[in-house]
Amino acid sequence: MTTSIVRAVCPHDCPDTCAMLVTVQDGIATAVRGDPDHPTTAGVLCTKVSRYTERTYHPERLLYPMKRIGKKGEGKFARISWREAIETITSRLKAIAAHDPEAILPYSYAGTMGLVQGESMSSRFFNKLGASLLDRTICAAAGAAGYKYTIGARIGTDVEQFQNAKLILIWGGNPIASNLHFWMRAQEAKRRGATLIAIDPYRSLTAEKCHRHIALLPGTDAALALGIMHILIAEDLLDHDYIARHTHGFDQLEARVKDWPPQRVAETCGITVEEVEQLARAYGATASRGEAVAIRVNYGLQRVRGGGMAVRNIACLPALVGAWRHAAGGIQLSASDTFPKNNAALQRPDLLSRGHAPRTINMSTIGDDLLRGASPQFGPSIDALIVYNANPVAVAPQSGKVAQGFGREDLFTVVLEHFQTDTADYADILLPATTQLEHADIHMTYGHLYMMANNAAIAPLGEAKPNTEIFRLLAAGMGFDDPCFKDSDDAIAAQAFDKRDARAIHFDWDALKQKGWQKLNVPNAPFADGGFATPSGKCEFYSECMQADGLDPLPTYIAPYESAASNPELAKQYPLAMISPPARNFLNSTFVNVLSLRNTEGEPHLDMHPADAAVRGIESGDRVRIHNARGSLVAKARVTDRARPGLVVGLSIWWKKFASDGKNANEVTSQRLTDMGHAPTFYDVLVQVEKDDTKT
Ligand SMILES: Nc1nc2c(c(=O)[nH]1)N[C@H]1C(S)=C(S)[C@@H](COP(=O)(O)OP(=O)(O)OC[C@H]3O[C@@H](n4cnc5c(=O)[nH]c(N)nc54)[C@H](O)[C@@H]3O)O[C@H]1N2
Ligand SMILES: Nc1nc2c(c(=O)[nH]1)N[C@H]1C(S)=C(S)[C@@H](COP(=O)(O)OP(=O)(O)OC[C@H]3O[C@@H](n4cnc5c(=O)[nH]c(N)nc54)[C@H](O)[C@@H]3O)O[C@H]1N2
Ligand code: SF4
Ligand SMILES: [Mo]
């Protein structure tokens, strides 16, 4: 028996991007574990990915190309050869492209975060083809925009520093489920005497383990941040030197936040005046003592109408109190812009050859866009859709529309997948893709500062192929002869980072493959001495760019589309706010089909407060129907004060086909977009809930 250990990387859409060690015995991967030597992984993988071999060798893995033999969405397929698959796809794409290539749309997100199996060969292919571009907004675009206006780029506190903070605000995130290795640092900080405060409408697994939990109404975070700024300024809990040297627009900010006294903030957020005051004073006074105050701001608060502004307002706080002076102070949203990723080489935008950039379709409005006919404003109808690294039928908002769009008989749909997901059910051609254990890749991360290498541990299962290889075959079939379509995965990985950038000066693909990871060459405290990436080089309390983009140049509060305060008429009919954040044992919709993990989650639940349940005659265990004008779904009620009054919580994202009614939380979400970044508003939703007595 031969046994080897292969260095790999967890590919999932999670900030932690763990270093994995894969044990391979006679060509079979028998175990995966966290690399004990990688500083942020520290030998620990989450429960989901510890089951990686169960997912990889799952009996339902797609192993051969298939074509549809049933109705759209029915999920009936017959095996075909790779040759037939590629010929069918290229002949169809050629016919459509001859008319207008913009009628072809790639649809992909972060099923793998690898830079090779993500957007490299696929982007080259679609650029050369002249297909519509995809605006990849479904997750992080609102906060990214708000943060960039304020700080200049997605650069922030290094996760490896958080254990030295004295106060950590965990704002709109549930790291025990979704950012475990940050949580390990926060725990260490707690052991060293730090205070942890969670800001979340729901008593999440994380909120219950913090010293304090502020359960505000969803979508009101921007107001809370305005209130904190009001108190910091009114009580002079400021770092005047830092403000003078490294910020822009303090006087205008001071005038603006006068409008946000604690009483108004408390009313807007549905919390007490004391909660607002205590939070602001804890933050300001800790910083005034010269101790590090840090904020981990995540995604929960971005998925509402004012999500971009909320992140912007929160991003102003560290500069006011000089928190950036400490390596352990400041704020972390995402580390993405710390990596000098070489998009020009990976994706070859220069291949866009038609003289003008093709139109861009927003992935968050795919439901409406698939149902649009040709028009001068929109351009051609979408006639072909190539889906990879994504499961839009389960994850995109207003799912009823998405399913209707995917159900169009005249739409030609190709899906590259590991499994027959809800989206795969609609494919005309379904292609088997390799998993991370079967292909090579290189990764950047959004939660730490290491470049990461993934080596293939085992041979592809069945006839599965890497995304790159599938697009190489498609490119050959289309007759694309640019040499870049022959690049090997190794050759692509070697182009991933720009070595001329001082941060990636140590980047060498061959060395990285051996070692597994390499930290970027960056300072510990990114803005200790200013140097923000904004036009002024300062933290911008006042942003001329926002003004130019038609936004309020100062921090402000934008109420949700759907809330009792902002839309009382709608709230009469649909009085409960619904959020659907990630379940601990799933990763978006990935892993829902892994039985051991699905069994742990049980079935789709809805958490609701005892007061809201009582008036509806609902008890724990009852089947309930959740509905609004967009759609409905059923779930099993859990009556619990984890959900604040007026809020219901359905942990997600379930595959529709595993739910008794074939539906999930996205039946009730809307396609309306955020204030900036054109992102979805998954948590800006009003619903009604009632006991469901229909027999199943
Ligand atoms: N286990 C697991 N881990 C994951 C994922 C997963 O599906 N499962 N998904 C990955 C991905 S793609 C992402 S983007 C991240 C997301 O992970 P997080 O950044 O943690 O974001 P969410 O899970 O969307 O929401 C986190 C918390 O925000 C709260 N929240 C909801 N609305 C609001 C609000 O208006 N204000 C405030 N303050 N809080 C609010 C929710 O109750 C929830 O507890 O996690 C990644 N990691
Ligand atoms: N209601 C509600 N909806 C949400 C959210 C929410 O909190 N609530 N969260 C939103 C967020 S933050 C995000 S990021 C999106 C996530 O949406 P998606 O990015 O679509 O994520 P997944 O659902 O995990 O689907 C990824 C798919 O890619 C496949 N895949 C993985 N690796 C590969 C590969 O190498 N090749 C190919 N071809 N396929 C691969 C997996 O098998 C999986 O089916 O969902 C959003 N939708
Ligand atoms: S999902 Fe996140 S925590 Fe789990 S192994 Fe992957 S990177 Fe690590
Ligand atoms: Mo996400």
Note the pLDDT tens digit of each residue in 392-421: 999 999 999 999 999 999 999 999 999 999
- Token pair 């008036």: residue: 615
Longest CA–CA span in the chain (Å) reads 73
pLDDT per residue as tens digits for the range 304-322: 999 999 999 999 999 999 9
**Following DSSP, what letter does each residue of 296-355 receive, concatenated?**
EE-SGGGSSTTHHHHHHHHHHHHHHHTGGGSTT-EEES--GGGS-B-HHHHH-GGG--SS
| CA nearest ligand 3 atom 6, residue | 10
Q: What is the pLDDT of residue 696?
A: 52
pLDDT at 353: 73
Give the residue among 80, 81, 18 at the shortest CA–CA distance from 49. Answer: 18
Topology of the domain covering 568-691: Barwin-like endoglucanases (2.40.40)
Q: How far is the CA of 679 from the centre of ligand 4 (A)?
A: 11
| Amino acid, single-letter form, for residue 363 | M
389 lines ligand 2 (CB under 6 A): yes
Nearest atom in ligand 2 to the alpha carbon of residue 423 is 44
| β-pairing verdict for 450-454 and 631-639 | unpaired
Q: What percent of the chain has pLDDT over 90?
A: 98
Closest by alpha carbon to 559, among 226, 197, 273, 299? Answer: 226
Residue 138 Cβ < 6 Å to ligand 2: yes
Residue range 618-629: average pLDDT? 98
Which residue ranges make up each domain of the chain?
A: 66-132+358-438+459-498, 142-336+527-548, 568-691
Q: State the pLDDT at residue 403.
A: 98
Q: Report the mean per-residue pLDDT for the chain.
A: 97
Q: Is the CB of 580 under 6 A from ligand 2?
A: yes
Is the four-CA dihedral 540, 542, 547, 553 of positive or negative sign?
Answer: positive
* CA 62 to ligand 4 center in whole angstroms: 25
Residue 423, pLDDT above cutoff 90: yes
Instruction: Calculate how far, in angstroms, residue 48's C-alpha sits from the geometric centre of ligand 2.
Output: 15
CA angle, residues 606, 611, 617, in degrees to nearest 5: 70
Dihedral angle sign, alpha carbons of residues 389, 366, 102, 70: positive
Per-residue model confidence (pLDDT) at position 290: 97
Q: Is any atom of ligand 3 closer than 6 Å to the C-beta of 16?
A: yes
Q: Work out the pLDDT band at 264, boundaries 50, 70, 90.
A: very high
19 CA distance to ligand 3 middle (Å): 9
pLDDT-based confidence at 693, cuts 50/70/90?
Answer: confident
Highest CATH level, class, for 142-336+527-548: alpha beta
**Residue 59: closest CA among 424, 429, 462, 389:** 462
Whether 578 shows a pLDDT value over 80: the answer reads: yes
Q: What is the pLDDT of residue 356?
A: 73
Give distance in angstroms: CA of 34 to centre of ligand 3.
9
Q: Whose CA is nearest to atom 4 of ligand 3?
A: 46
Strands in 71-130 per DSSP E: 77-79, 104-108
Residue 176 Cα, ligand 3 centroid: separation in angstroms?
Answer: 11
Q: What tens digit of pLDDT does each residue of 15-68 get?
A: 999 999 999 999 999 999 999 999 999 999 999 999 899 999 999 999 999 999
At residue 354, the pLDDT reads 62
Distance CA 528, CA 429 (A): 53
The Cα 41–Cα 161 span in angstroms is 14
Q: Which of 134, 385, 418 to mutate to test the pocket of ligand 2 (most atoms within 8 A of CB)?
A: 418
CATH number of this structure's domain 66-132+358-438+459-498: 3.40.50.740
Is the CA virtual torsion 335, 337, 341, 343 positive or negative? positive
The ligand minimizing its distance to the Cα of 172 is: 1
Torsion sign, CA atoms 605, 611, 612, 617: positive
In angstroms, the CA 631 to CA 654 distance is 16
User: Does the beta carbon of 180 sit less than 6 angstroms from any atom of ligand 3?
Assistant: yes
- What is the pLDDT confidence band of residue 1, given thresholds at 50, 70 and 90? confident
Ligand closest to the CA atom of residue 683: 1
Task: Give tens-digit pLDDT for 166-176.
Answer: 999 999 999 99
581 lines ligand 2 (CB under 6 A): yes
Per residue in 462-496, pLDDT (tens digit) is 999 999 999 999 999 999 999 999 999 999 999 99
pLDDT of residue 355: 58
The best mutation among 108, 113, 169, 178 to test binding of ligand 1, ranked by most ligand atoms within 8 Å of the C-beta, falls on 178
Quote the distance between the C-alpha of residue 10 and its chain's center.
15
Quick check: 514 pLDDT over 90? yes
For the Cβ of 14 lying below 6 angstroms from any atom of ligand 3, the answer is yes
CA angle (49 as vertex; 642, 162 as ends), nearest 5: 65
Ligand 1 proximal residues by C-beta, below 6 Å: 13-14, 139, 171-174, 177-178, 199-202, 204, 218-219, 221, 298-301, 304, 579, 581-582, 584, 586-588, 683
Helix (H, G, I), strand (E, B) or coil at 6: strand
